[in-house]
Amino acid sequence: MPDPHPFLLGLIGHPLGHTLSPRLHRAALAHAGLDGVYLPLPTTSEHVADAVKAMRAWRIRGLNVTIPHKEAVIPFLDGLTPRASRVGAVNTLFWEGDRLVGDNTDTAGFAALIEGIPVEDRQVLVLGAGGSARAVADVLGAQGAAEVCFVVRRAGAAGELVESFGKAFPKTRYRECAWEAVAEPLREASLLVNTTPVGMHPEGDRSPLSAEQVALLPAHAAVVDLIYRPATTRLLAEAHARGLTARNGLVMLMAQAAEAFERWTGERVPLPVWEGALDSASSEA
């Protein structure tokens, strides 16, 4: 079981050059008056097991997990929360007694991000089929989307997601779409969600879709990019140019961070603290 002090927290994933999580959680620790640190811990795929062993050995209070380890970390844990088990991906590791447990606070984050965007009985296009796409799929099913189409480059890459979420949310049709055949789904989508890292800092000039493809979206469509750095990705810039509702991943980042921090510390940090940390980051950029 971890020692109560200090609060040693961190983030594993690769790459981590874009992350604002350390700034957010350091602000939260200061607000809560807790003696602790939050460290970015770059971790390649072959060292995921080592990172979990280190968490046990060093009594790290909590870890966030980001791309590309949200699924790969699961076999090394002692258990999952019900929502993490349903989603099949984790972004938060915490102690429950002597057991190391995985949770998924991305679901709360994505729900906050799409607040006010109609989902029920709508068709949604999700770019990617990784750990973040799982959290997105869970929220979309819970909110009653008519159809969720995972756009992938490798045939069968979304097969397990289609099957598992189809069983969890039978009223929503989950299916896989080939990237080269994305035109028709784009024309029918009310919501487009990018869960891939394409366009993330430092490659902000890239986009998962061309301007011509974005132009296929209906005038009422909304575009959501889970990337938060840069704040306006090329995909979002194309959506703005079309006059579409466009949102980056900052709200999701703050909402999932708040839930994770409460898991680790028992402290609920108010939204202005998280917003202030991001405002500070923007002023220094």
Annotated active-site positions, please? Answer: 70
**Local structure of residue 45 (DSSP, 8 states):** G
Looking at residue 171, its amino acid is: K
* C-alpha pair distances (Å), 265 with each of 6, 96, 243, 262: 11, 12, 42, 5
Question: How many CB atoms are closer than 10 A to CB 142?
Answer: 15
DSSP-derived pairing of the beta strands 173-178 and 245-247: unpaired
Close Cβ partners of 174 (under 8 Å, ≥ 6 residues apart)? 137, 141, 147, 148, 149, 150, 161, 162, 165, 166
Contact assessment for residue 264 and residue 62, using Cβ atoms and an 8 Å cutoff: yes
Q: Judging by beta carbons within 10 Å of its beta carbon (0-12, 13-18, 19+), is residue 279 exposed, middle or buried?
A: exposed
* Alpha carbon distance 70, 74 (integer Å): 8
